[in-house]
Amino acid sequence: MTILALVLATTIDLGHQHLQVTLDPMTHRLQGSTTLQVRTGGDLHYGLHDQAILQRVLVNGEERPQPVRGRVTNVPSGGTVQIDWNAVHREDVAAGERVGQIHNHSVRAHVGPDGIFLSEGSLWHPQPVDAG
Contact 97, 90 (CB under 8 A): no
- Model confidence, pTM: 0.78
| Cα distance between residue 122 and residue 69, in whole Å | 16
Q: Is the pLDDT of residue 6 over 70?
A: no
Q: Is the pLDDT of residue 4 over 50?
A: no
Provide the pLDDT for residue 100.
Answer: 54
Contact 80, 35 (CB under 8 A): yes
More confident residue, 77 or 112: 77
Q: Is the pLDDT of residue 8 over 60?
A: no
Exposure class string for 69-83: b at 16+ Cβ within 10 A, else e: eeebeebeeebbbbb
Contact 111, 54 (CB under 8 A): no
More confident residue, 89 or 60: 60
